[in-house]
Homo-oligomer: A and B are copies of this chain.
Amino acid sequence: MKSWFHLNPHSGIPMYLQLKEQIKTAVAGGALHPGDRLPPVRELALTLTVNPNTVARAYSELEREGILSAEQGRGTFVSGGEPLLREEERRVQVQSLIDKVLVEAFNLRITGDQLQAIWEERLRAWEKRLQR
């Protein structure tokens, strides 16, 4: 449980977004489990040499998204339970993300077959990391 995250102040991507992304990836990939406690905002801010507000923003946006759960005085944790949105809404979100991928892919002149192959490859890669 050491130096998980690292931020690049010059990447052009806001640091709070970099952190959000890394936390989401860690959760999806099984490096963080429901109930795990994240470092306090000030502590993580120190190790990342970043303003505490930057960490706080990442945490609180992830809480709004139902991925973390914060309790004042106690800490911030990976949340396990029920999704915030109902099935239908989550489905729609994923659909629209996938539609974006399809538009991009076709504009990149990727064929349906190539696309399908990449999809299967990536899905397999993630399934491995998920079945812990």
Contact = CB atoms under 8 A, between A and B. Distances in A.
Interface of A: 24-25, 27-29, 65, 67, 83, 85, 90-91, 93-95, 97-110, 112, 114-116, 118-119, 121-123, 126-127, 130
Given A90-B110, A107-B28, A126 B97 contact: no
A118 B95 contact: yes
27 contacts: A24-B104, A25-B103, A27-B106, A27-B107, A28-B102, A28-B103, A28-B106, A28-B107, A29-B103, A83-B108, A90-B108, A91-B110, A91-B118, A93-B104, A94-B105, A94-B108, A95-B121, A95-B122, A97-B100, A97-B104, A98-B122, A99-B122, A102-B122, A102-B123, A112-B123, A112-B127, A116-B123
Contacts of A130: 106, 112
User: Dominant SS at the A interface?
Assistant: helix
A121 B39 CA distance: 41
B98 A119 contact: yes
Contacts of A116: 123
Nearest to A26: B103
Contacts of A119: 98, 119
A84 to B, nearest CB: 9
Nearest to A112: B127
